[in-house]
Amino acid sequence: MTLIRELNGIKPNYGENCWFAETAVIIGDVKMGDECSVWYNAVVRGDVHSIEMGNKVNVQDNAVIHCTYQKAKTVIGNNVSIGHTAIVHGCTLMDNVLIGMGAMVMDHAVVEEGALVAAGAIVLENTVVEAGYIYAGVPAKKIKLTEGNSKEMIERIANNYVKYASWYKD
């Protein structure tokens, strides 16, 4: 069963139609909107600062969402997909963002609306990932404008994860 744990008197709060895998962990100061999903072995740990998530956010298998004590909270917008084994730490992800598998986004980085962080990329502290661009590499650098259909792709992935989560519900 999912570990949803109160810590220091603060209990995670989530909206309607959310789904959490049996091995997901959600702790402390976490607020998420509607139609979110947290998948197998993913951790959303609001123990040292707050984590705020919008609607239709999917945190895929083995991903970690965390923050830095008294310095960097994590804010995630709507329609955001966080790929398998990604780390999102003390940063801001605006609406309609895709974080690729195995990518890392570090403290005080901002991923603007419609941006994509490629699989395996490392977005260093204080980096701004510009709206509508793909960033890749270590450290992540702007490589090109997203394709004309990237907004549709990001929306499709977010919607697909709402659908996939529905398959698991009793």
CATH classification of the domain holding 37: 2.160.10.10
Contact 83, 62 (CB under 8 A): no
As a whole number of angstroms, the distance between CA 46 and CA 75 comes to 11
Residue 126 reports pLDDT greater than 80: yes
Element (H, E) at 28: strand 25-32
Question: Across residues 142-147, what is the average pLDDT?
Answer: 83
User: Three-state DSSP class for 152?
Assistant: helix
Range of the domain at 151: 3-168
Contact 62, 85 (CB under 8 A): yes
Confidence of residue 147 (pLDDT cuts 50, 70, 90): confident
The pTM score is: 0.96
Total of domains in the chain: 1
